[in-house]
């Protein structure tokens, strides 16, 4: 006889009787309760769910409630309550135990990942409602991958000893793509321009083969925020999204997504003033620090940057707890917004401590250095928000939350940082192709958070038919716990010119450097460089090798030692104007600190970019130049400038500039000076945006000249401008951003080597 069948009696003092009043429901009184059929569940547990007290009247409704509670416990397949005189018999049939859980039909999601999703577990009681919930959770996981047609069916296979195998039969289905993204109500910007803003993309003819985009419901909300940010940054302060319609195709394999928007009017900045009622604050001092100017397109980002600038100025002036409140006055008549920065005294609140949780790999100090405040500093909510953005920008965490709560006293706060780590390393194998170096293989490894210290480690091996390159780089972004980046770079390259020149080269570079900010948009790099170079495999007896190349090769291996700097000014660092940017770079290396020669090498680059025609067309202009001057020793071909397609299109590498040419000799020597101006426009070709293909027109003018070695056979030693026009096709392919250039040299010299077509990796400003 089983434990349940032993007719466990729960003591007494009860009697079973019906209340004779017909107006009242029937009541029961039980002297004992007998439980039958239970094998694993204790009788006391069953009685606690039933909730029937000893000796009290139990109505039919309460008896039904007891039945419902036992059924809802999830422990029993069936429950039966039978009053038998003064005795209540509770008969139960227990759910079986799960022997094992299996998944069938899944390919896109692994078994171990599905096991982490379901709540049902082996050696636990089987619960059909929980199994249904698990099936729904699995379907939702497939939905996050865009497989909305996925179906999951839980199946039970009976085993001995009241055990079952729980099997989830999965039909994964196909991917539900975004067939079309449309906008209703947009006037200032075209559908094509707005699609480029969204994270979600359409699935077109090429994407069906190469890069399939799927519908993920959570991504739509992110797209809404991207649209709001896009319009707000361009002065559309009244912009709103009135609705997003996502219609599923009848076959459930595609979605039609429509954003309904109201753009409103574009506003510009009106009067900009700074006011204060604090006696120890001089508003004029802060007015001079304001960068926002009347007439520019209003952008919340511009205002935020000004506020941060004014609050930093207050700290430098020893004015703690100063807050800057922007007050925006709207002028609908002339579509301007007056901005008044009001300097007020904030609450005297201090940072008690900063608590960091969730960083299993990243060290605390890596996160802490993203904060401008430490324990004991005045609390500034804006500074905390900026720190939170910097933590997210690290890219080390899949999620990061920064919140402030009251500390041990009302005038103190505790800043809680909760992060979740994500992989930061990558190992890639790939191939490359260049019209100058041919086919090649590439292996690279990178780790952006080396040993959890926030350091970056990279090394790469690239081999092609004419070149081999090995590189190593290590970066410490916060050297000595300051805003000072240290970088160590090592590089070794070999070239096999295979007929394009009568020599091969070997070059090795060792370069440590320090980079630090000198202004809001300015950075200065200080570096030391040791460079080993050699010209090898030169046939001294060959009649096809020029005298200059033989002289240079005869010098053998050379080691150059130099110190240098580069100053860069990049407006993209603040991103105040989303439609334009300017980059200025200027640097010089001074050789002669040891080594075999003394020289100065100066380079300059200026890039400007803007958009026109409602941001449909991008205009770029680049001016670039360099000057190499030796005061001790002479330059060699491995030291001088050669212009490839990345600097000036339309010519082979070394296709312009000084050459030694006589008889069968035609050696490109490079030049000690170069200057290039590049102008281009990038525009849509009318193809669907999801193809990732745009076009461009370009015009390049430039030259390379100058030589510190003399020979009567040298030509093109003097400046002579070459002019090139062409058409480009930009393709954001799965291999990376590719650029196809079709060029025509309008002005060239007789012995230049033009190049009508080249395929390169696209590098845009």
CA separation for the pair 381, 379 (Å, rounded): 6
97-171 has CATH 2.40.50.140 classification: no
| Mean pLDDT for the stretch of residues 667-692 | 91
Assess whether pLDDT exceeds 90 at residue 431: no
Q: Which of 104-113, 445-454, 687-696 has the lowest mean pLDDT?
A: 687-696
CA separation for the pair 294, 701 (Å, rounded): 38
What is the per-residue pLDDT across 712-760, written as a single tens digit (0 to 9) for each? 899 999 999 999 999 999 988 766 788 999 999 999 999 999 999 988 8
What is the per-residue pLDDT across 21-73, written as a single tens digit (0 to 9) for each? 333 456 788 878 888 888 878 888 888 888 887 667 788 888 888 888 888 88
pLDDT band at 394 (very low <50, low <70, confident <90, very high): very high
pLDDT band at 205 (very low <50, low <70, confident <90, very high): low
> Which residue, 145, 178, 317, 345, is CA-closest to 245?
178
Could you tell me which CATH class the domain 350-421 is placed in?
A: alpha beta
Chain-centre distance for alpha carbon 423:
13
- Residue 631 backbone phi and psi in degrees, to 5: -100, -20
Residue 129: per-residue pLDDT: 86
Residue 203: per-residue pLDDT: 74
What is the per-residue pLDDT across 573-601, written as a single tens digit (0 to 9) for each? 887 788 889 999 999 999 998 889 999 99
Which residue(s) pair with 340 in the sheet? 273, 327
* DSSP code at position 642: -
| Mean pLDDT for the stretch of residues 301-310 | 91
| Mean pLDDT for the stretch of residues 279-299 | 92
Q: Strand 336-345: give its sheet, edge to edge.
A: 268-276, 336-345, 322-331
Residue 435: per-residue pLDDT: 55
CATH code of 268-345, in short, is: 3.10.20.310
Residue 499: per-residue pLDDT: 54
- Strand pairing class (558-570; 522-536): antiparallel
Fold held by 509-761 = Porin (2.40.160)
Give this prediction's pTM: 0.76
Q: List the end-to-end C-alpha distance of the chain, in Å, as a whole number.
A: 84
pLDDT band at 533 (very low <50, low <70, confident <90, very high): very high
- Residue 162 backbone phi and psi in degrees, to 5: 55, 45
| Mean pLDDT for the stretch of residues 492-514 | 85
Residue 204: per-residue pLDDT: 64
Token couple for 295: 């007439």
CA separation for the pair 497, 512 (Å, rounded): 30
* CATH architecture assignment, domain 4-94: Roll (3.10)
pLDDT band at 17 (very low <50, low <70, confident <90, very high): very low
What is the per-residue pLDDT across 649-658, written as a single tens digit (0 to 9) for each? 999 988 999 9
Three-state secondary structure call for residue 253: coil
Query: Are 4-94 and 97-171 in the same CATH fold?
Result: yes
Burial of 397 (0-12, 13-18, 19+ CB in 10 A): buried
Domain ranges of the chain: 4-94, 97-171, 177-262, 268-345, 350-421, 509-761
177-262 has CATH 2.60.40.3140 classification: no
What is the per-residue pLDDT across 455-488, written as a single tens digit (0 to 9) for each? 999 999 988 777 889 999 999 999 998 999 999 9
Evaluate whether 163 touches 169 at the Cβ level (below 8 Å): no
Q: Which of the pair, 704 or 216, is modelled with greater confidence?
A: 704
pLDDT band at 436 (very low <50, low <70, confident <90, very high): low
Token couple for 689: 């945006």
Evaluate whether 624 touches 615 at the Cβ level (below 8 Å): no
Ramachandran class of 74: left when φ > 0, alpha when ψ lies in -120 to 50, beta otherwise: left
Neighbouring C-beta atoms of residue 168, cutoff 10 Å: 22
Residue 463: per-residue pLDDT: 85
Cα torsion angle, 220, 224, 229, 234, sign: positive
Residue 1: per-residue pLDDT: 36
Return the percentage of the chain with pLDDT > 90, whole number. 55
DSSP 194-229: HHHH-SS----TTTTTS---B--HHHHHHHHHHHHH
Residue 754: per-residue pLDDT: 94
């Amino acid at each position: 006889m089983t434990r349940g069948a032993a007719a466990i009696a729960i003591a007494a003092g009860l009697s079973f009787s019906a209340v004779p009043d017909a107006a009242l429901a029937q009541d029961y009184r039980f002297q004992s309760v007998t439980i039958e059929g239970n094998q694993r569940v204790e009788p006391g547990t069953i009685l606690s769910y039933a909730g029937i007290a000893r000796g009290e009247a139990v109505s039919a409704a309460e008896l039904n409630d007891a039945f419902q509670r036992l059924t809802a416990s999830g422990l029993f397949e069936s429950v039966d309550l039978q009053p038998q005189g003064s005795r209540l018999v509770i008969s139960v049939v227990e759910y079986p135990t799960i022997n094992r859980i299996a998944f069938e039909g899944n390919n896109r999601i692994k078994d171990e990942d599905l096991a982490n999703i379901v709540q049902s577990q082996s050696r636990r009681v089987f619960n059909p409602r929980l199994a249904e919930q698990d099936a729904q959770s699995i379907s939702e996981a497939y939905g996050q991958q865009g497989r909305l047609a996925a179906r999951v069916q839980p199946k039970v296979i009976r085993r001995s000893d009241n055990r079952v195998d729980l099997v989830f039969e999965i039909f994964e289905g196909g991917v539900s793509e975004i067939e079309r993204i449309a906008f209703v109500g947009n006037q200032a910007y075209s559908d094509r321009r707005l699609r480029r803003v969204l994270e979600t993309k359409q699935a077109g003819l090429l994407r069906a083969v190469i890069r399939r985009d799927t519908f993920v419901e959570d991504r739509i909300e992110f797209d809404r925020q991207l649209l709001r940010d896009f319009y707000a940054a361009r002065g559309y302060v009244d912009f709103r999204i009135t609705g997003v319609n996502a219609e599923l195709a009848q076959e459930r394999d595609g979605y039609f997504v429509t954003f309904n928007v109201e753009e409103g009017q574009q506003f510009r900045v009106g009067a900009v003033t700074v006011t204060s009622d604090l006696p120890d604050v001089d508003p004029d001092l802060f007015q001079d620090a304001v960068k926002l100017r009347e007439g520019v397109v209003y952008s919340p980002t511009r205002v935020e940057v000004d506020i941060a600038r004014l609050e930093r100025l207050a700290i430098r002036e020893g004015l703690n707890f100063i807050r800057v409140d922007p007050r925006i006055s709207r002028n609908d008549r002339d579509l301007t917004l007056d901005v008044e920065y009001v300097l007020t005294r904030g609450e005297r609140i201090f940072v008690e401590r900063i608590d960091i949780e969730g960083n299993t790999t990243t060290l605390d100090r890596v996160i802490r250095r993203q904060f401008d405040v430490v324990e004991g500093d005045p609390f500034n909510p804006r500074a905390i928000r900026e720190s939170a953005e910097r933590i997210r920008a690290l890219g080390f965490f899949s999620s990061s939350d920064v919140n402030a709560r009251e500390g041990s006293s009302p005038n103190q706060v505790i800043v809680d940082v909760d992060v979740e780590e994500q992989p930061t390393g990558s190992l890639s194998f790939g191939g490359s192709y260049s019209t100058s170096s041919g086919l090649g293989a590439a292996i690279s490894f990178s780790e952006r958070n080396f040993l959890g210290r926030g350091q970056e480690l990279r090394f790469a091996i690239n081999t092609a038919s004419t070149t081999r390159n090995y590189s190593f780089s290590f970066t410490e972004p916060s050297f000595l716990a300051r805003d000072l980046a240290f970088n160590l770079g090592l590089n070794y390259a070999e070239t096999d010119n295979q007929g394009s020149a009568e020599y091969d080269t070997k070059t090795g570079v060792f370069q440590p450097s320090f980079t630090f900010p000198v202004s809001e948009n300015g950075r200065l790099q200080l570096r030391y460089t040791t460079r080993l170079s050699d010209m090898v495999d030169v046939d001294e007896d060959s009649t096809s090798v020029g005298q200059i190349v033989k002289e240079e090769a005869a010098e053998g291996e050379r080691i150059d030692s130099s110190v240098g700097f580069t100053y860069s000014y990049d407006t993209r660092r603040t991103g105040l104007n989303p439609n334009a940017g300017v980059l200025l770079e200027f640097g010089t290396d001074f050789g002669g600190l040891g080594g075999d020669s003394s020289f100065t090498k100066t380079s300059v680059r200026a890039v400007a970019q803007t958009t026109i025609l409602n941001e449909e067309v991008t205009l770029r202009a680049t001016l670039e130049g360099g000057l190499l001057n030796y005061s001790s020793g002479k330059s060699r071909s491995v030291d001088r400038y050669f212009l490839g397609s990345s600097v000036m299109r339309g010519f082979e590498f070394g296709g312009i500039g000084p050459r030694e040419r006589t008889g069968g000799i035609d050696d490109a020597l490079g030049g000690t000076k170069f200057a290039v101006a590049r102008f281009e426009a990038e525009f849509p070709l009318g193809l669907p945006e999801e193809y990732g293909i745009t076009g461009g027109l370009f015009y390049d003018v430039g030259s390379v000249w100058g030589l510190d070695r003399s020979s009567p056979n040298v030509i093109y030693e003097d400046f002579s401008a070459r002019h090139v026009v062409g058409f480009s096709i930009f393709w954001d392919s799965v291999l990376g951003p590719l650029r196809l250039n079709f060029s025509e040299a309008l002005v060239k010299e007789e012995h230049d080597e033009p190049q009508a077509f080249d395929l390169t990796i696209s590098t845009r400003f």
